[in-house]
Amino acid sequence: MKSCLLFKLIVGVIILFLTNGLSFSDENSRDFSNLPVKGIVTMIDLGAKKCIPCKMMAPILEKMEKIYRDKAAIVFIDVWENREQAERFGIDAIPTQIFFNQEGKEVQRHVGFMSETEIMAQLKNMGID
């Protein structure tokens, strides 16, 4: 099953490259070594700016970042621009959302589009109002 997800990811990258002129530049790379943020609940969304479900999640993530400011860290990582992060977090398909508790331990992982309601419910389950 893992190889099937990887195959789908590779096919998706090829299709987007051919249809959207995908850039493989890493000029937007950032230092993600502080993730997950210790002492605060962290949600990391690993995707790509040109991935359709990821584009659909972008406004939701922006909203969540504002709502949960100072309560939880909401972070987006473009794994096409920061490939090492896909390997670091064990990503086979995008988007993938990973939720970490205050100690930095992974407590939930979701693959695919995740709605605002689902994100809020997960954060609430983790004690964040």
Residue reference for tokens 């809020």: 120
Where in the sequence numbering do the catalytic residues fall?
51, 54
- Give the pLDDT mean for 39-62: 96
pLDDT in tens, 2-20: 544 444 444 343 333 333 3
Contact 59, 67 (CB under 8 A): no
pLDDT at 112 over 70: yes
pTM value surpassing 0.85: no
Which runs of E-coded beta strand occur in 7-129? 41-47, 72-78, 96-100, 106-111
Q: Work out the pLDDT band at 1, boundaries 50, 70, 90.
A: low
pLDDT in tens, 63-84: 999 999 999 999 999 999 999 9
Gap between the Cα atoms of 124 and 38, Å rounded? 18
Domains of the chain, by residue range, sit at 35-125
- Tell me the CATH number for domain 35-125: 3.40.30.10
Measured torsion, CA atoms of residues 72, 56, 21, 48, in degrees rounded to the nearest 10: 30
